[in-house]
A and B are shown apart, each in its own frame.
Chain A
């Protein structure tokens, strides 16, 4: 089990009626790897994550997590969705506790982690507020906090920083790497922002237009924290942008 890939995708195909979204996609994601997925709008990135956590059933093919059929009840994973998904009836703090409570973590651990996460995301002042009282970008921070607090082995993020300002975005990019390294998590991170992908990823998967396949994989070996102004960084960024612009 030790050397086995964290996520194995085999011949994964998803059709919605006549529309083929994913077309016999296969790849592996290693344990502890940080993978960014980039690709054109509507190519099936969100669909892939939904398949991975069994919110959708594949038309054909399989996904395995730790060699087994994926199951959120069994695997310690968490998902930051593209759309707002904070629970409106829970306060900021209760939202952050939610996943930990579902996973039945010990009370003391939940208290500690929750404090840490509130601090990390700058949510301490809002702990007793309801999500609708806060801005969209703050609501997204709640959802990110809720996910981070679960210390997931497998963290899935679907354009999580899309609507945030640059400063917060840079800060949270560093935080997700910190979390990944501390918890030895595997991260799958979807983004439209190539600079962000190059900043974060150990490996970047470039998807094609529908019917979607993996067009290319780019290994990124630079150490963290990466310098966005370095020659190597800019070259990689331009290369990946070129690959996407190609169609």
Chain B
């Protein structure tokens, strides 16, 4: 029975990928001029890895996009956690700042693009700012939620052992909210990746989003699909890396599952 299950666990993912490829090929057979075959896309990926488009090969485009995301993500983490701790811990600050945050929060990061381009121009800054807007929201939300769910017994325990306010924040409040903060960062990174692609599709000379737009402009559907495949693969790799990081950061939570 157990062996049967192991087989199924292996077989099912393979089957589903196979199904996706079959659908893709079917589409290709019906409309070959707008839907390239999987092999064409692979070939395109190979081609742009060797030959630069807009002065950059595929790995460079990926690194450019990732760099924008990681820069903005680092900034959003520092500011977002700080802001979230203030919001979650200090009632007065919550009363002052929460309504403002609540009004701005639902505006999708993509809706900021025109304004940001007006303000920051079409350089690197505007892309980083757009990703920052997308990434900081989940970090703040999760930090606030984490801080508010801290187990009061643990605060009492720390206080009864003589911990002062600083120590209680550092030794009890932050560690108890860490799993929630890390979950927020995971969401932030995937949101950030989406935002950077959107921003690059509007205005950029390099990056994965730019590749897709270049594909559209030159009627190169293989390039469009190659860009999309890269997005999927990079996202999956980011998720794997983050899951690994989560285990390292919150070992007590992960073994709980």
Taking a contact as CB atoms closer than 8 A, the residue among B154, B156, B178 that contacts A55 in the complex is B156
Residues of A within 8 A of B156 (CB): 50, 55, 79, 81, 85
Most buried by A among B160, B172, B256: B160
Given known A55-B156, A88-B252, A132-B252, contact A78–B176 (CB-CB < 8 A): no
> Is A89 an interface position by the 8 A CB rule?
yes
Contact A81-B252, Cβ < 8 Å, known A89-B178, A102-B162: no
- Contact between A55 and B162, CB atoms less than 8 A apart: no
A98 touches B252 (CB 8 A): no
Closest CB of chain B to A98's CB: distance in Å? 7
User: Considering the chains assembled together, what is the distance between the CA atoms of A113 and B135 in angstroms?
Assistant: 46
* B256: chain A residues within 8 A (beta carbon): 130, 132
Name which residue of chain B comes closest to A95, CB basis: B157
Could you list 5 examples of A-B contacts with CB < 8 Å? A53-B159, A81-B153, A85-B153, A89-B176, A130-B252
Bound form: Cα–Cα A131–B153 in Å: 15
Chain B residues positioned under 8 Å from A76 (CB to CB): 162
Please measure, in the bound complex, the distance between the C-alpha atom of A11 and the C-alpha atom of B221, giving whole angstroms: 84
A67 proximal to B (CB < 8 A): no
B residues bordering A, Cβ < 8 Å?
153-154, 156-164, 167, 171-172, 175-176, 178, 250-252, 255-256
Are A85 and B252 interface neighbours, CB within 8 A?
no
Residue ID in chain A nearest B160 by CB atoms: A79
Q: How far is B255's CA from A87's CA once the two chains are assembled, in angstroms?
A: 15
The count of A-to-B residue pairs whose CB atoms sit within 8 angstroms is 69
Whether B160 pairs with A103 at a CB distance below 8 angstroms is no
* Interface SS of chain B: helix
Q: A77 interface residue, CB < 8 Å from B?
A: yes
**B154 engages A85 (CB within 8 Å):** yes
A77 touches B160 (CB 8 A): yes
Interface footprint category on A? 20 to 34
Helix, strand, loop or mixed for chain A's interface?
loop
Residues of chain B contacted by A130 (CB below 8 angstroms): 251-252, 255-256
Q: Which of A50, A73, A85 contacts B157 (CB 8 A)?
A: A85
Write out the residue numbers on chain A whose beta carbons fall within 8 Å of the beta carbon of B172.
Answer: 87
| Contacting residue for B153 out of A84, A103, A150, CB 8 A | A84
Is A57 in contact with chain B by the CB < 8 A criterion?
Answer: no
CA distance A74 to B160 in the complex (A): 11
Minimum distance in angstroms from A61 CB to a CB of chain B: 20
Q: Which B residues are CB-close (under 8 A) to A98?
A: 158, 161, 171
**Does A133 have its Cβ within 8 Å of any Cβ on chain B?**
yes
The yes or no answer to A145 lying at the interface (CB within 8 A) is no
Q: Which residues of B contact A44 (CB under 8 A)?
A: none
A73:B164 contact, CB within 8 angstroms: yes
Closest B-chain residue to A76, C-beta based? B162
In the bound complex, residues from chain B placing their C-beta under 8 Å from that of A58 are none
The verdict on A72 contacting chain B, using a C-beta distance below 8 Å, is: yes
Q: Is the CB of B167 within 8 A of A72?
A: no
8 A Cβ contacts from A142-167 to B: 143, 146, 150, 156
Answer yes or no: A125 CB below 8 A from chain B CBs: no
Question: Given the complex, which residues of A lie within 8 Å of B255, measured CB to CB?
Answer: 130, 132-133
Nearest 8 A-B pairs (CB), nearest first?
A: A79-B160, A130-B252, A85-B157, A99-B161, A89-B175, A72-B162, A85-B153, A73-B162
Are A103 and B162 within 8 A (Cβ)? yes
